[in-house]
Amino acid sequence: MTQPIAAALNVVMLGPPGAGKGTQAERFARTHGLPKISTGDILREAVTTDTELGRAARATMDRGTLVGDDVMIGIVGERLERPDTHRGFVLDGFPRTVEQATALDRLMGGRGALVVVDIIVPEDVLLRRLAARRICGSCGVNALVEWTTTCGNCGGELVTRTDDGLDIVRERLKVYHRQTKPIVDFYSGRPTFRTIDGNQPPDQVTALMDKAICQASAVSRNGVRL
């Protein structure tokens, strides 16, 4: 089993809906004692705590539109200032645009390398997974593979998502690939960028991801210019 990494470790998880990046981000963060930072979670927290950025996010979401880059960058920047991120973090859902990725590079000043992992899964497999995907009927979080009938966060009942119809899923995947390709291009030339074959059992993906991230982190510690 891969040993926890002592140095600061900053990880960005990329991957389409159904690739399992939420599960893998949760596992990696737990194993290595890092906070898993989900943009959905921090958006909800910002809205609940009624910060200035939270109010801006709420106004945007109330209009039914996506939260803009400036607000998302501000909210993530505030979250990365907390003490629990000093040893590193696992980001899930950010960045989603090149502007956000560029801003994240600025936020990383003096914090160490950024390891970016892109989980690759064939579209037909994604469609099957998404059709069977479950969420918590109480708190709305996506179910991890190890949860059976109840939510690991709040104990609520797991239910099938109502928005995972085939046509809707196909459109979501098209949007994801259209939006994400520029981000993959932005990161792919870096020595700390890794791709993972996600079309495998979750435990095998976990092992591959641990190995890839540890190797990428070693590259950065050995003085390779990032």
Please indicate, yes or no, if residue 13 is contained in any of the structural domains: yes
Residue 129 annotated as catalytic: no
Residue among 21, 36, 79, 190 flagged as catalytic: 21
Tens of pLDDT along 194-215? 999 999 999 999 999 999 998 9
Please indicate, yes or no, if residue 162 is contained in any of the structural domains: yes
Beta strands in 103-208 (DSSP E): 114-120, 134-136, 158-160, 193-197
Residue among 36, 96, 129, 194 flagged as catalytic: 96
Residue 174 annotated as catalytic: no
Please indicate, yes or no, if residue 4 is contained in any of the structural domains: no
Are the C-beta atoms of residues 157 and 107 closer than 8 Å to each other? Answer: no
Residue 9: band (very low, low, confident or very high) from pLDDT cuts 50, 70, 90: very high
What stretch of H or E contains 92? Answer: strand 88-92
Please indicate, yes or no, if residue 3 is contained in any of the structural domains: no
State percent of the chain over pLDDT 90.
42
| pTM (two decimals) | 0.78
160: β partners: 134
Residue 134 annotated as catalytic: no
Residue among 58, 111, 134, 161 flagged as catalytic: 161
Please indicate, yes or no, if residue 1 is contained in any of the structural domains: no
- Name the domain count of the chain: 1
Please indicate, yes or no, if residue 37 is contained in any of the structural domains: yes
Find which of 45-59, 163-177, 187-201 is predicted with most confidence, using mean pLDDT. Answer: 187-201
Residue 172 annotated as catalytic: yes
Residue 63 annotated as catalytic: no
Tens of pLDDT along 67-110? 788 888 988 998 999 999 999 999 998 998 999 999 999 999 88
Give the domain CATH number at 76. Answer: 3.40.50.300
Residue 41: band (very low, low, confident or very high) from pLDDT cuts 50, 70, 90: confident
Q: Which domain holds residue 166?
A: 9-221
